[in-house]
Chain A
Amino acid sequence: MHKNRNKSWLSVILCLVALNFSFSLFAEKITVENAKIENFVVEDVPGDLGSGLLLKWKPLPNELKILEYRIYRGITPDSLFYSGSVMLNPVVGFAGEEISFLDSGFKPFVDKSSPGRLVVDSKVKPLDEKTFYFGTANNGYPRDLEVLAQANNKFSLIAQIEKGVYYSRYEEVTLDEQLFAGYPLGNVSVLARVRSGVEYFYSVVPLNETRKYLRPSEVVSGTPISDPLQKPARELYSNLIVDGSTPISLNFDWENATGSYSSQAAIYVFDDELEVTKSYFEATEENPYQGKEPFILSLDPQINEYGKFSQPIISENGAYFLKNEDSQLMIDLERIEDYQVVIQADNGQTLFLKDTPNSRYQSIQTASLTDLPQVPTFNVYDVPNDKGDTQIVVWEKPLVEITKTSFHEKLGKFLIVNYDYYDYQAETLKSFDLKLTLEGQEKPFYETDEFYLDNVIKLAVPDDYDNNTITAEIIIKTNNPDTEPYTLYQNLKFDKILKALIPSAIVKNNIALNSFNYEVYAKEGSPQYVTVAGKVVGKMNNYSDVISYERFLYESVIAFDPESGKVLVPGDIQVWYDGKTEKSLNLSKFASVSKEKIATEITTVEEEIAQITDPKHKERLENYQSSLLALQTELNNNISNRKWIGIVKNHRNNSLRQKSYKVFASNNRGLFTSYELPLNEDGSYQYFTPISNQFDYDKLAGLLASIIFAILVAVYVNLAKKGVDLYIRPIAGIQEIDNAIGRATEMGRPILFVPGMSSIGVVATLAALSILGKVAKKAAEYDTRILVPTRDFILMPIAQEIVKEAHIEAGRPDTFDKNSVFFITTDQFAYVAGVNGIMIREKTATNFYMGSYFAESLLMTETGNITGAIQIAGTDSVTQIPFFITTCDYTLIGEELYAASAYMSKEPMILGTLKAQDYFKFIILFFIIVGTILSTSKITFLLDFFPEK
């Protein structure tokens, strides 16, 4: 093995030498100085409406160790601004033939981090004197409106404005007699995208691993071309839905081609030969269509959004018809498979059902009503305990799914079943029964009532099990007493490769849930439904819709205006959306303009009311009108822009966050059902706004526990301060401490006391110091020297004071030596080296290690062992306790350190806290024991009271 490796090294070296040699023979060596970027081209990205350019160039050789290619872009060939980069790893280099950079989409253009004035990127050495490269490490254009004004109309620009700024920092600016809102440049981030028809100039500058700038490339230009990618629909499906032998409807389901800019205009149904049908679309005036007239269904934008439509079939005198205002077609059920269905895009291109990619569906399929998915009747709930930015659409009862299984062969053969559950607060899973039956057997071999939902069930595999398929029956009980328990089925089939039972899809009411998806649509701010969730898999029973509070607002930039010193954006603003009438009110950011606009709005509504006969609709419109009038009164009071925008902001916050939903259940092959919530009593749509909650009930347990504990702490610390005698049990270690001091006295050697590695303020250090006081007192009584090295210079004087006090208390102030308490160094290892030196030099008889310790503890205790000292440790640093236990003669573990110090010194802070903790622990213990007894006997309310995360 090792030999091979050597050989490969050798061959690599040989190759490298050979490579070097060939380079020097045939080519001029490329160096940092003469490296040149070749084959640099700028191309339009096809089919993208002219919103992007693609830059390509040949990478420089890897031995130049290129770190970055910086891209500079300009609207004139002589001034280029930094606009992005391609990063590489200089060690590895780039393997491909060509490096590309896509300049498309909105990218940062100028914002607050941009340089304040025009900066020439001085590290770039232009190829000629006329070309200038501008920018800093991360930015191109400066925050200089004079410079930016050149970019007006040359880029598509968007301003991203913080909410606070958006409502407060704009001014009226008139440009070309139009009124705009002007924002200070420093407060907006502007994003830019290339525009079709504008010529852009690019240059690439390579940087090597030491950030040395190499020679820039030539300046090359490119122009994005507005060339929309228009394609016909990609897939089309059609289903005839029948109830027994009665046709109900003809369903269409289609999908647009990805990236296409065309939408669908109409669907045609022909009762004719394919060839004849084709001629319909090729017909001209000279060469008219000869066949039967088709049924034509024109598709509006809303239907286009859904991508599916159900055309009812009308029965007249025993015959069935497709019928609408434009056309009608008789349907012959016998020949339904011979009908032709065609979808036509708005650019005239067509897709025939015969040509749809999926061969199984190339003619109209007949399906029974029972094949349709269940209607997704849903409810909308507000998410409790939240800020009010999420609401949840729930269409299905709680589900339990077996997600995976595995065999476990330790002390018998076991099957581990992992499950997941999907539920929602409005109706949650309470428990479920799991019954497992072997294929072909009647009686289940395993039954359990899973009341504690821990996502796993472990069971013993029956002896006669031989990789048979297992049927799992899951009977679900929810917390809703009105819901009858219902059953789900899953098959667990043995897989030879995976050596596990693979769960099948969940079957409910004989329908496999995974054969359908859900699609959620919502309307918000306009009467059209738009998609909010594409394909929610069939086993999910809900969709959480996040309706964020607005943080940024986006406006297109009209111009950078150096004259006013502002960035100009349109003055219009949507004031509200009225869900009752589905009307959106668009006024202006300026009170004066709004005043004019609202007047016209009111007249329009008045005219509309005059025409309407439906009393409910009329009433809604009248309500709307009165709110408009109220707004007008406010505007007529000649309010300031500031006050006006305050009103607008309020309306926006209240009305722009409401949504109404529609859900489709669909197999995406023409079988679908949909559901909308019923209308309100006044005939308007049901709109929902998430609610901002004031109390989080999930945190109730935490809050109660904190209050109880706070009271305990406050009470016991005060009691301890008052000197009330609080009992602490004797700690075994204290006896050991006394013995150890005695031993040092017998041997006539000093005691070493290490007060930990932490500073004052850490509880362990405080505890260590109070133990030091007692140890020092004992030592003074026995007249034994005590050495206290500290790692913290603030700790040193405090420790000195404590030892001095102790000597005084012991009646031996004369024996106190100030130099026995000293500072070594703050560095961890150097401190340990110092302490070890003391142990060896002074031959200490007893070593105390009290306080908090880190990785270094072992170094000290080991030396102590070698010198043969008795060692006593006490620490709350959990990671170090094992080492103290194995290397020391006695160890105070964790809180024992506090207890020992409280026992010895009665320090009120430590003593009081310890007592409070003790009583709180008692409460906890009580709950644990009671809770366990209850939960084991299947009563889980106490368990559930405690938080799960």
Chain B
Amino acid sequence: MTTPEQSTPEPAAPETSAAGLPDRPKLRLATVWLAGCSGCHMSFLDLDEFLFDLAAVADVVFSPVGIDTKTYPENVDVCLVEGAVANVDNLELARIVRQRTRLVISFGDCAVTANVPGLRNLCASPNGSSQQAVLERGYLELADTGAQLPFAPGIVPELLPRVLPLHEVIAVDLFLPGCPPSAQRIKEAIAPLLAGERPVMEGAEMIRFG
């Protein structure tokens, strides 16, 4: 079965062909943090010296841990997306990432399976939505004082009815599971990409969940 989500299998064969990429000196790399604990990003930082190697061949153009840019740029080559899609902001950013990125990597178990953020789907009401139930549980039932539902339109993003893994929202090109994926695993996945090759995602070292 061809995986429908994997619409752009090779980084070298982009559909949104950014003209002249092969000549571009540096890979444009982004990392995005959706509904996750940032553990995957911490693990990314654990790459230690490899980060210097990375900096030599790639520009970090968007990242909560690497650059201050607040707007996701155009023509990104590779993006590591941490976290599940839990609210409207996550959803909007995921869609932008897909539009502006050639190779999207589902980065860590939350992005791949919805993982811990997805646990709120367990308190779904009969219509399948856990949006209200999770707010009531968190802000009313468990409140010690001043119980009230958050209400700040335009400031606090609205929750989606269900928390979804990234590939149920946008097409994903590579899955890098792990909670978090170890620095070694991240390195094994990224290094081939820098050389224009697709990493081999096989074996417990590369794809075991958890």
A and B form one complex: no
Contact surface of B with A, Cβ cutoff 8 Å: none
